[in-house]
Structure 1
């Protein structure tokens, strides 16, 4: 994946410190790696302002246009999103926390790594209708209580799970924030899957 290659280049250049690996939770460091790589590329100011993830549902034909013309992807995505109704695909800053819970719970969904890169800037990723459908089925069958059992604010902050709020906000606010976003993600993917839609994930 493009983001993984960016992180690898930064580590080879000595710009990132070593990443601790764990036998079962190996990919939990991906989100932390990406935050550090994003800081290197965009600067701390933009990172502090917030790195957000959002999904936009698109038809299979629209997705094909985006894949065929990645340099115009943002413009085409704006056109495809104009006037659309349905559940929001906006995750705000909850993406890394949700991926942490998915990994700890063994849920086979990765909001951050799944999909194929559109262009070279690492900000847009195409999700096929098949991937959207599979994600919808997995999320629909996974109650948030299953994920919430794996919430560990101390561990999340120690692993640099973005944003660095988990010990500060704790179960009431931090876990509640993830729960609200998870509920909306389930609604988004189920809604998109029913119409056979693909999706585009934007990051930045």
Structure 2
């Protein structure tokens, strides 16, 4: 499957309830990511390419690291409190994909080892892949922030 990144929406109270317990965090994440009524954003393997574009555009968002770590032996979980969700939403909303796309450089991405190292295969298609997943990410954080909620992120490897 490879390394993937996804997020699910939770209430601040539910996030608080799992912050000290990685097994509970994993169970909650798995339960909610399977529930079609729960808002989520699974950005697949696009996470590193999106992070590259954010970094190159000077957007101060760390997709994997902005939340509070929930220690775990396997997948990496982070809790994103409402104020962090709001900050991420504001940063992403201020950075339309067109601005990020100006920094798309398949050769540089390949040279830097940006996962999943596909960027020079079909550059136009891969840019579209990043655009679609960035849209999911923006919509997710914007909606969760509007509702005053939190999120759990799962980096699976």
Once residues 19 and 131 of structure 2 are traced to their aligned partners in structure 1, the CA distance between those partners, rounded to angstroms, is 32
More strand as a share of residues: 2
SS at match of 1:150: coil
Match among 168, 191, 194 for residue 146 of structure 2: 194
Match among 33, 48, 52 for residue 100 of structure 1: 52
Residues 79/132 of structure 1: CA separation in 2 closer, same or farther (3 Å cut): same
Counterparts of 1:49-128 in structure 2 under 5 Å? Answer: 49-81=1-33, 83=35, 85=37, 87-121=39-73, 123-128=76-81
- Larger Rg: 1 or 2? 1
5+ long unaligned stretches in structure 1: 1-48
1:147 equivalent in alignment to 2:96: no
The TM-score normalised by the length of structure 1 is 0.71
8 Å CA contact 1:132, 1:192 repeated in 2: yes
Count of aligned pairs? 155
Runs of 4+ residues deviating >6 angstroms = none
After the TM superposition, which of the residue ranges 120-129 and 132-141 deviates more from structure 2? 120-129
The TM-score normalised by the length of structure 2 is 0.91
Which protein has greater RCO, CA pairs closer than 8 Å, 6+ apart?
2
Deviation at 1:192, TM superposition (A): 0.4
Once residues 174 and 80 of structure 1 are traced to their aligned partners in structure 2, the CA distance between those partners, rounded to angstroms, is 29
Give RMSD over aligned pairs.
1.6
Once residues 81 and 151 of structure 1 are traced to their aligned partners in structure 2, the CA distance between those partners, rounded to angstroms, is 30
1:157 equivalent in alignment to 2:110: yes
1:169 equivalent in alignment to 2:122: yes
Once residues 65 and 113 of structure 2 are traced to their aligned partners in structure 1, the CA distance between those partners, rounded to angstroms, is 17
